[in-house]
Structure formats: structure tokens, C-alpha cells
Chain A
Amino acid sequence: MNNTTLRLSSSIGSAFVAKVEKVSGQKLLACYQCGKCSAGCPMAAHMDILPNQIVRMAQLGMQKQLLASKTIWTCVSCLTCNSRCPKDIRIAEIIESLRQTALHNGQRDDRLNIMELSPAARGDLPPIAMISAMRKLTS
């Protein structure tokens, strides 16, 4: 019989994993991949990586793939995943920590340029749409 090693620490991705856990305030290894977060996610159809996969990839420290994903910009923190997680993991907080890591990299890698919108579009949008988009998508 072969011996297998079960890794119980989330130190695989080292500094990146530690940062995600610290900024999100979540223990990544609490997730056992039931998939409830992705099943209920209203944005799942517009994502390239599903929320449960985000958590798994974060456990494994897959920084490059996570920060290049479309998903971290698609999630609008509606918190359906958080409210349904049987392990009380706050998936939206994990995704927010990834967004912040991408935005706070010293490059000003913003995902939204308000000035590129037409004046008509800018005038039409409610103020809370503009402010929340800038808060979530710009550094």
C-alpha cells in the first residue's frame, strides 16, 4: 500500500496565500468544495472561473491565474455565496482581496475609466452607480 501525504497548511503559495487570508480575514482551507457558492451565484454565467474554483486556486496559491481572471472583476459582492456557505466562509471577501491585490500593485491598473464614457452616459447613470463602480474597479 502506498503512502499519501495530505497537506494541511496553506503555505503552498506562501506570501500570496498569507496576504489573501489576511486581507479577506478568511481561512482558505476551511473550504471543502461543496460548490454551493457557485450554484447560487447570479454572475456565474459571466465568469471564467467559478467562485468555488477561486477558493481552491487560492488555497493552491495560483496567483497569476487568479489575478488574470475575469471573475474577480465580475463579482459585485452581492453576498449570496457568503450567506449560503455551510462553512461560513466569506467568498466575496476572498474575491475582494484578489481585486485589491490586482489594483494595489503600484501600476494603477484600473478596470474602469469614467472619462471614456460618453457625456450622455455619464449624465444618465445614477450617482451611486458611478461611485460604487469607481470604488470597486479603480485603485
Chain B
Amino acid sequence: MKLIYYPGCTLKNSARNFDTSTVSSMAQLDVEVEELERWNCCGTVHALGSDNVMNRVAPVTNLIRVKEAQANEFMTSCAMCYNTLKRANNDVKKHADKLNTINEFLNLEQTKYQGDVDVLHLLEYLRDRVGFDKLAAKVKKPLKGLRVACYYGCLLVRPKEVAFDDVENPMIMESLITALGATPVNFALKTECCGAYHAVGSPEIIADRTDKIMGSANEEQVDLVVVSCPLCAYNLDFKQDDAKRLNPDFQHMPVLYFTQLMALALECGKEALGFDLHHIDPLPTLAARGLA
């Protein structure tokens, strides 16, 4: 059976390398991935007010599309999409009145949502369905000697209702990195917020967050940082020049999606890696380790 895949808007835009590395890695792992038809915006942020039923319409519409694809679960690799879709799903599963209101609002849809779809993140799919041992056995080019800091940010671990690992000290990405033959390195700020959408209106906040988070990873002498969110990736990669202006001691370092390291180890090819979309070019760092 095919695994339904929800890419989300940014994976078709500035984070195309997250999309291509996800899809090609899954092919190497013999998982047949099918992109969800007619998917729409996930909503990006989960509205926290008790009266925000309207903001659940976008995510629930996607869950209807999954049902229309004759599936009862789907996978996404974007942490932001995962978080928003999972929380909206939890909310309407818990509150029948809200779900009823949404179904009535979406009365032109042939399919009604009944809380019968599960939202999966790629990391938990790899751990629970594929298995990190099976993944390790498929590795063609072990990422030997590469020191990797795994940055989770907020969306994979908070709130605890959507976390598929420990809230304060998640290790799932470290397990993946180990399976790829690289060396995961712990660092203090791995679950601290990058500043998120302040990239739009308050870049000074992002410069400070990037300086602190990347600085914390740098203290552990890592080669690069991996992420699962295209907004974290943007802030931590593209805002490094701002961080350098704020703190002259700031050291530039590449930021990659975890799927790119997977695609590298599984030898998915240059097209899948999409290293041209980065601000800090990862190639010199990878070449220094004999990996590019």
C-alpha cells in the first residue's frame, strides 16, 4: 500500500530540497510515496483561542483529502505542517461540536471528516514502520566522521500531545543520524525556539536567536546542524550574516534537513540533495569529511 505524503507549501517553494530529498530517500527505502491530491495550506500555526473553529477548516480539509485517497493515515516531513495538522486533528477528535460545525461549513464536500485519519511525521514513520536498523542496512555511503547537531525547535516536541519523543530531551533524530553512520552531538539549545515568524517583521530577534542556537551547537565542535522545519532552516541558515553583525565571534555553519543527510547516505544523487538552495554552502564541510 502506498504511503500518502503531504508536502506543504514551503516544500514546493523555498525548501524544494526538503521535498526532493524526502521523496527520493523513501524510494531507496522501498516505501512507495504518493503525494496527496488537492492538498491545501495546513494553516501554519495552531490558533490557541477556544473560539477559533474557523482556523481548523484548512487542516481538516486536508484530512478529508486523505480519506478521499482511501487512506487512514498520511506522512509529512515538515515540522510546521505536522504540528498544525496533528493539533487540529486532536482538537476535532476531542470536540465533536467543533467537528460538526466544520463539516457543516464544508457542506459542499462529498466526504465528511469523522476523526478517522492519523497524522504521522516522517521521523516517527522511519522509527516505527521502517526501523532505524533497516535504514542502517540500506546505507550505501556511511557519513563517517561527520559531527551533527540535531535541532528540534518547538514543533516536533511541543505540546506534549503531539510529541513522538521526550519533550525536553528528544533523541529520535540522533538515532537516525547514528543509523546513517554519522556522529550525533548533543547541544544545549536543541529544543529552543528559533524565533519563527519574527523573520518577517522583527529580524533583530532572529539574529539574536540564530546567534545563540548556532553558537550553542558550535561550542560542541559540530560540522553542521540538521532540522525538520523550513522556517527554522531559513532563520538558522539565511540569517547567519545578521547574527555575525550582532556578534563578530559568530562562526558560519551549514544547516541541512535531516532528509538531505539521508539522501546523501543512500546515494540519491545531486538532484535530490539540492545544495544550491542553501545560504551557507554545505559542500566544503562535506568535502572536508570526504563526503562530497
Contact = CB atoms under 8 A, between A and B. Distances in A.
B154 A78 contact: yes
A37 to B, nearest CB: 13
A100 B191 CA distance: 27
Tell me the dominant secondary structure on chain B's binding face: loop
B50 A132 contact: no
A42 B201 contact: no
A132 B158 contact: no
Tell me the dominant secondary structure on chain A's binding face: helix
A39 interface: no
B51 interface: yes
B178 interface: no
B130 interface: no
Interface string B154-171: 100011100000011000
A124 B238 contact: yes
Nearest to B235: A129
Contacts of B46: 77
B41 interface: yes
B48 interface: yes
Interface string A69-82: 00000101111101
A42 B200 contact: no
Contacts of B47: 96, 135
Contacts of B10: 126-128
Interface in A36-93: 42-43, 45-46, 74, 76-80, 82-83, 90, 92-93
Contact of A25 (B50, B168, B191): B50
A1 B281 CA distance: 73
Contacts of A130: 197, 200
A43 B45 CA distance: 18
Contacts of A128: 8-10, 44, 78, 80, 197, 230-231
Contacts of B14: 126-127
A96 B48 contact: yes
B234 interface: yes
B48 A132 contact: no
Given A42-B193, A126-B10, A130-B200, 6 more contacts: A80-B193, A82-B158, A129-B231, A132-B45, A133-B199, A135-B44
Interface of B: 8-10, 13-15, 41, 43-51, 55, 78, 80, 154, 158-160, 167-168, 191-193, 195-202, 205, 208-209, 230-231, 234, 238
Q: Which 8 residue pairs across A and B have the least CB separation, nearest first?
A: A78-B193, A133-B197, A96-B48, A133-B200, A79-B158, A132-B197, A132-B44, A78-B154
